[in-house]
Amino acid sequence: MKKIYLLPFLLFATASCEKDFLNQTNPNAVAVDTYFKTENDVLLAVNGVYNILRSGSGIGETSALYSEERSDNTGRDDNQSNAGEPFQFNDFSLLAGNTYLKTHWVKMYEGIYRCNALLSNIDKVTFADENTRERYKAETKFIRALLYFHMVRKWGDIPLSTTMLTNKDEVDALAFRQKEDVVYQQIVQDLQDALTSNIPNTQWDYQIGRASKAAIHSLLGQVYLTMGSTLAANKQENYQLAEAQLTLAYGMRTFGKLTEIPYADVFDVAKKTTNKELIFQVQNIQGDQNYHSSIAANNQARGEFINSLRPSTGSGGNVTHDLVYDYEANDARKTFSIKFATDAQVNDWFITKFRDASSAAGENGWGGNDWILIRYADVMLLLAETKMNLGKDAEAIAILDEVRERAGLPSYAVSRTNATYNTNYPTLKEALLHERRVELAFENHRWFDLIRNYTAQELVTYFGTKKQENFGNAKLSNISTKDRYYPIPFDEYKLNPEKMYQNEGY
């Protein structure tokens, strides 16, 4: 923790702030104490805050190691590369000294530091319109809340800072783990503050890739839902608050029913600036050497060109057979999201959900996919889950049916008459978890869905029902109740074992 707050007080990019506002050059170029002078300086600093979302060491498009690979959706069979450290995540053998884990911790706090630096200095600058200042604050608090939300779900109690720290004494004073509920209170406060600004309802009203009220309501709704499901206090109240926020977000959509938007269109590079299902996304620039998306090419399997024109020599994005078998017959999402590669060196399923085989992306694989962080099918299924927790099953099922209809599947009531479906998903809770799994596969939601709906012991029981043969080399038998949380990185723990106490079992 100490190393994060003692980073040189550097700040953000000084590049263009036009439509491609994430096209930064050096995101750590100017000293904080001399930087904030003009309104445009603040805008560039806001751009630098958004830029942190691009990193695969944080929550960017290549961050699946820290979420999806922890779940039952993806993983890796290679337990040798990079000293086997990436393999530890899906093998449930994660060590506190894992360097990837430390990198993730550092990157997340780097983003939080940028937010704190901006918020600590923005009031020093004169604005022509005070609404602009408040909008920039709202965007920054939204991103800080998003980063803390990812961290608190992974680590539980974590250090919490909302101001720019400028000396060792300030660092030491905050280098201790705050309880989960305290962190959640700050997340909620940031999002509530953000909603008081004049930030537009949708990114289409503002700028694609920037926060909006729809995004803030969506995130706040998920936060309340998670609090209701995982914290001991105020469960019913939190579910009610979640329902209110998610309903507001859903009410801001600019389409009628989800069936108006074909599933493939959600991930179509040519439609990423017009698709109304998208609420919040990280922008990438097709064909640009520095700011392209690599997700399509990275997921490509040897002998295949469905994702990218870049020739692949590997097995592509790993898909567990457990997920393959969880797709129902005739689910259009399976056909679009995964494919079997027949190359003799692959002979397995790989991810095809993210594609850019255009000439503009070329054989370098410099794709234009935006990384989608929030979209309406996600919000709808979160709302359905919330309604289920409030005892409003009929309303939850109506939402579930709309998502299933787009996928070409029968309604929940009809599906329950199918013996296989009824056996696999005997309760509405399990049906909703299944639907989120196949709808949002590879979008880094699955691990959070599991830990929101299952206690630590239930998680162990859940993985215990799985067949080892469907998970490759990763040993399901390794899982224990400790795996509900990640270990605190060892370098952070050893600074002060009392204040930075380790999670149980590590």
Other beta carbons within 10 Å of 385: 29
Instruction: Note the pLDDT of residue 7.
Output: 25
SS3 420: helix
Three-state SS letters, 480-492: CHHHHCCCCCHHH
> Helix, strand, or coil here: 282?
strand
Contacts of 24 (CB under 8 A, 6+ apart): 12, 13, 15, 47, 48, 51
Give the C-alpha separation, 352 to 241, whole Å. Answer: 37
**Distance between CA 277 and CA 274 in Å, rounded?**
9
How far is CA 169 from its chain centroid? 33
List the structure tokens of 489: 């990185």
Q: How many CB atoms lie within 10 A of CB 409?
A: 21
Tell me the pLDDT of the chain (506 aa) as tens digits: 333 222 222 333 333 333 333 333 444 455 677 789 999 999 999 999 999 999 999 999 999 999 999 999 999 989 899 989 999 999 999 999 999 999 999 999 999 999 999 999 999 999 999 999 999 999 999 999 999 999 999 999 999 999 998 888 888 888 899 999 999 999 999 999 999 999 999 999 999 999 999 999 999 999 999 999 999 999 999 999 999 999 999 999 999 999 999 999 999 999 999 999 999 999 999 999 999 999 999 999 999 999 999 999 999 999 999 999 999 999 999 999 999 999 999 999 999 999 999 999 999 999 999 999 999 999 999 999 999 999 999 999 999 999 999 999 999 999 999 999 999 999 999 999 999 999 999 999 999 999 999 999 999 999 999 999 999 999 999 999 999 999 999 999 998 999 999 999 99
Instruction: Answer for the pair 91, 84: CB distance below 8 angstroms, yes or no.
Output: no
CATH 1.25.40.390 fits 235-278+374-453, yes or no: yes
Q: Give the class (CATH, top level) of 1-199+459-506.
A: mainly alpha
Same fold, 1-199+459-506 and 235-278+374-453: yes
What single string gives the DSSP state of each residue in 170-227? HHHHH-SPBPHHHHHHHHHHHHHHHHTS---SSGGGS-TTS--HHHHHHHHHHHHHHH
In degrees and rounded to multiples of 5, residue 281 shows phi and psi of -145, 155
Which conformational region is residue 363 in: left (phi greater than 0), alpha (psi within -120 to 50 degrees), or beta? alpha
Q: What's the pLDDT at 342? A: 96
Distance (Å, whole) CA 492 – CA 501:
9
Pairing of strands 10-11, 338-341: unpaired
Note the pLDDT of residue 32. 77
Domain map (residue ranges) of the chain:
1-199+459-506, 235-278+374-453
| 76 closest CA partner among 294, 299, 267, 296 | 299
Return all residues near 272 (Cβ < 8 A) that are at least 6 apart. Answer: 208, 278, 281, 368, 369, 370
Residue 167: what pLDDT?
A: 82
- Residue 30: per-residue pLDDT: 57
Contacts of 459 (CB under 8 A, 6+ apart): 450, 451, 479, 481, 483, 484
Please measure the distance between the N-terminal and C-terminal CA atoms of the chain and give it in whole angstroms. 18
Q: Which residue has the tokens 């805008």?
A: 43
The pairing of strands 371-375 and 278-282 is antiparallel
> Nearest-5° angle of CA 55, CA 89, CA 75?
85
Distance of alpha carbon 432 from alpha carbon 435, whole angstroms: 5
Q: Which residue type sits at 144?
A: R
CA angle 352/355/356 to nearest 5° reads 155
Helix ranges restricted to H, 295-375: 295-298, 321-324, 332-337
Residue 419, phi then psi, degrees to nearest 5: -60, -40
* Cβ neighbours for 214, distance < 8 A, ≥ 6 positions apart: 201, 202, 203, 249, 252, 253, 279
Going by the DSSP 8-state scheme, the letter that residue 7 receives in this structure is S
Residue in the structure block whose two tokens are 């410099």: 366
Nearest to 434 by CA among 325, 320, 326: 326
- Look up residue 318 and give its DSSP letter: B
- 487 vs 493: CA distance, rounded Å: 9
Given a contact cutoff of 8 angstroms between Cβ atoms, the answer to whether 277 and 269 are in contact is no
Residue 456 Cα to chain centre, angstroms: 21
Q: Give the closest residue to 224 by CA, choosing from 382, 422, 8, 41.
A: 382
